[in-house]
Copies of this chain bind each other. A is one copy, B any other.
Amino acid sequence: MNMIEFRNVSKIYENDSAALKDINLVIKKGEFVFMVGPSGSGKSTFIKLLIKEISSTTGTIFIAGRNICNLKNNRIPQLRRNIGCIFQDYKLLSDRTVFENIAFALEVIGKPNYIIKAQVPQVLKLVGLYNKMDSLPHQLSGGEQQRVCIARAFVNRPPILLADEPTGNLDPATSEGIMKLLSRINLIGTTVVMATHEKSIVNAMRRRVVELEDGIIIRDQKRGVYGS
């Protein structure tokens, strides 16, 4: 089953910079895909299109067989609840504690309080932030903020997980832990798309690699490495 499908998708920003050019790509359910490419090649744009943070200029995007380009505004939240997203700039709610930030993602989908109280500490333990539960984002180190964002993205077990440089501010040991987590999540059937620069991670995992350059897919390899 095709989980994600791009058909001739282009994205040209207001200032005429073309971030993606005529992209065609199919990602099947349960796949694990690395998006690699130099800075500014369009990886984040690709991910932002999937959660409809931005809209494509031309072309159509299908998620689980559904065209999300003509989605009505009031259906967008539904889409986003089914996609966990680790943002490159974290996007934490700056006036809420770590606990509240993660709980928010569960509240939004109407999970009852007792489930929230059980699941949030559990996921915090997974990313190693159990003892920072009551800190505000500005009281955290860069890597800690990144891990909060990771925890929020998969706390509600979404069928799709998008990760935009999830290990950019993490030391190798922690990164390895996070990658193990992503693999486990992927194993239970979650489709994972991860944009990354980290050569060592890509090389170690040996998964499908899609390489972008200047908004064009220049490589799509089943069991690739970073840099062909």
The quantity of this chain's copies bound in the complex is 2
* A164: B residues at CB distance < 8 A: 142
Q: What CA separation (Å) do A144 and B45 show in the bound complex?
A: 13
* Cross-chain contact of A143 among B39, B142, B174 (Cβ < 8 A): B39
Closest CB in chain B relative to A47 CB, distance in Å? 11
For residue A184, CB closer than 8 A to chain B, the reply is: no
Q: What CA separation (Å) do A72 and B96 show in the bound complex?
A: 34
Q: Which residue of B lies closest to A89 (CB)?
A: B142
For residue A165, CB closer than 8 A to chain B, the reply is: yes
Q: What CA separation (Å) do A174 and B173 show in the bound complex?
A: 23
Q: Does the CB pair B172–A141 fall under 8 Å?
A: no
Q: Which interface residue of A43, A169, A199 has the most chain B CB atoms within 10 A? A: A169
For residue A205, CB closer than 8 A to chain B, the reply is: no
Q: What CA separation (Å) do A15 and B98 show in the bound complex?
A: 14
For residue A152, CB closer than 8 A to chain B, the reply is: no
For residue A147, CB closer than 8 A to chain B, the reply is: yes
For residue A226, CB closer than 8 A to chain B, the reply is: yes
Closest CB in chain B relative to A98 CB, distance in Å? 12
Chain A 103-128 interface mask (CB, 8 Å, partner B; 1/0)? 00000000000000000000000000
Closest CB in chain B relative to A210 CB, distance in Å? 14
* Cross-chain contact of A40 among B44, B141, B168, B175 (Cβ < 8 A): B141
Q: A38-B174, A142-B164 are in contact. List 4 more A-B contacts (CB 8 A).
A: A36-B171, A38-B143, A39-B142, A39-B143
A-B contact list, 5 entries, CB within 8 Å: A17-B139, A38-B143, A39-B143, A142-B165, A200-B200
Instruction: Enumerate chain A interface residues (CB-CB to B < 8 A).
Output: 13, 15, 17, 36-40, 43-44, 88-89, 135, 139-144, 146-147, 164-165, 168-175, 197, 199-200, 226-227
